[in-house]
Structure 1
Amino acid sequence: MMWLQTNASREELIFNNVGISKQTIVDWSMFCREVCIYACHSSTVRLGGEGIIVEIDEAKFGKRKYNRGRIIDGVWVFGGIEQSTGNSFMVAVPDRSSATLLGTN
């Protein structure tokens, strides 16, 4: 529950409040991320429609060496969430071009 409710430094907050090892917290955090990714990818519900608002955004997911510095390598992810129902989607994309996002390439 703490993993979902916290935006910044989740592992440190959980470590201070729960008292389990940092490696266990990191392992569980990775598991929680995978569950969220699976839930977003396995949905086949279409979003939007007349009068329905869908918020969309993009993010780059990557790895940093020793968790410091800028993100060097990663994957662009495009996602959206329907305001009224909370239904959502996430899709990995090769780039952020309009051709890719509109499916015209």
Structure 2
Amino acid sequence: MTESTDTMITPGLEDLLSKVDSKFTLVSLAAMRSRQINSYYNQLDGGIGSVVPPQVASVARKPLSIAFEEIDADKITFERFDPEERARLEAEALAAAEADAAMLEVVPDLEA
């Protein structure tokens, strides 16, 4: 007979780990999102801000608990970047920007 016990983390750690690829990713993702949620609540007095509000209806008061609930609800995800792929994309973007700049230099001044 399996009995469900209430833990400090709701949703459970096993559920959260199934949403990410490692414990490190879970910790990093939850910490980053909880800082964003904390910033959102801190900027409410100042008017409209640029931080995204919590994406789930929660009874939790702690930003980290809200972040865990968002991860469990698939509202917050992560994406792995390959360093070599990122370097290639940055090189392509730089080459395109340089080509655009070169085209601007070739265009004759029409007001002369």
TM-score between both structures, scaled by the size of structure 2: 0.29
Structure number having the greater helix percentage: 2
Rg (Cα) greater in structure? 2
TM-score between both structures, scaled by the size of structure 1: 0.31
Structure number having the greater strand percentage: 1
Q: Which has the higher contact order (CA 8 A, sep 6+)?
A: 2
